[in-house]
Amino acid sequence: MLTLAIIPREIINAFREHFGSQTKPELYRAPGRVNLIGEHTDYNLGFVFPIALEMACYVAAGPGGDGKLRAYSRDFDEEFSIAVDDLPAAKAAGKWSDYVLGVARELLAAGVRIEGGNLYIASDVPLGSGLSSSAALEISTAYALLGPRHMDPIDIALLGQRAESQFVGMPCGIMDQYASVFGQEWAAIQIDCRSLEHEYVPLPHDVRIIAVNSMVKHELGTSAYRERVAECQRAVAAIHEITPDVESLRDVPVALFERIQDSVSPTPRRRARHVVTENQRVIDFAAAANAHNLEVMGRLFIASHRSMQYDYEISCEEIDFLVDTAIKLPGVHGARMTGGGFGGCTVNLVAPNAVENFRRQLTKAYEERFGKTPVFYDCKPADGAGRVTDPD
């Protein structure tokens, strides 16, 4: 099982070495997330149910003094710099630095003065895994650039989302950034993506949440994400013609959808069916978690995956294999894909005494079938973003 690789003291020392500074930087952290259920419902203003992770992105921030913003990524071994005066005209370059630039621009637009400085970035959220490394980078950068200045946490989440959707160009919903800001130890967050309200739901202590990285990420993911957004919008337009009160798929209960679904063309119909039923699954999953009903929680996991597999069509052979194999193993209550799709991770509900056999059997089967070794993450709900207290 993968363990955490980030040690705060090491990041502070690395900052000093890289930038040749004796000044002690401030250190900020923002977690990745795993979504337990509620996939592709956030940009349809529905419900999601993520947990923030112990895996996080860390940003050490210190003054620069020359009117430039410099950022170094340990994970890419790359540095970029830009004059603060040039930030408003900056263009996305299709690189990791876009997330930093996008956040800096959003802070400027919100009236926050950016005076430049040095950022040292290190993350143990695996890239391309569906565990939201991008939101962790956005939110940790936002906190680092804000420093001691206060901003409402919901506004931090929203500016991170705008950086990704408007500057980077990925039309994401609010879930990833929201979870990174509002995470709470030992609890999931049931988020209403329309009202932007949330409630914390304690999870049963006799189950482990294990994410399994398929170690594949198919390139179809980015273009298909945009297609799904557009297909959902077409479904809303068709339903709106029949029921004018419907402004998003969030407004469509399961019973209404079943009554009018034949009025929606086949592909948007399937996309809408996933979103409508997935919203209900989030509500049912939260109730099952509160009732400590692992059987129902597992059943909802599997139903969610089948919906993504057949209605939303965002799974892939490797992910389906991991799910289908996992649910046959003893002690596994449920398994499903998590994240945007076309690779990345599955998330599994596993009895504590079954975890080692689960890891061993799933690794063996996956290596035999695909010649790849999956990576396992023990996902413990963690607190959201903020300044890291002095690690001395």
d(CA 359, CA 339): 21
| Burial group, residue 206, by CB count within 10 angstroms (0-12, 13-18, 19+) | exposed
d(CA 380, CA 205): 10
Cβ atoms of 313 and 289 within 8 Å: the answer is no
d(CA 108, CA 92): 16
SS3 sequence of 177-211? HHHHHHCECCEEEEEECCCCEEEEEECCCCCEEEE
**Residue for token pair 């906190």:** 143
Q: Where are the alpha helices (DSSP H) in 77-209?
A: 97-109, 133-146, 153-162, 175-182
Task: Count, in order, helices (H) and strands (E) of the chain.
Answer: 11, 12
206 is catalytic: no
Q: Write down the catalytic residue from 42, 98, 124, 176.
A: 176
Cβ atoms of 277 and 308 within 8 Å: the answer is no
Cβ atoms of 18 and 62 within 8 Å: the answer is no
d(CA 287, CA 318): 31
d(CA 287, CA 301): 14
User: Annotated catalytic sites, by residue?
Assistant: 176
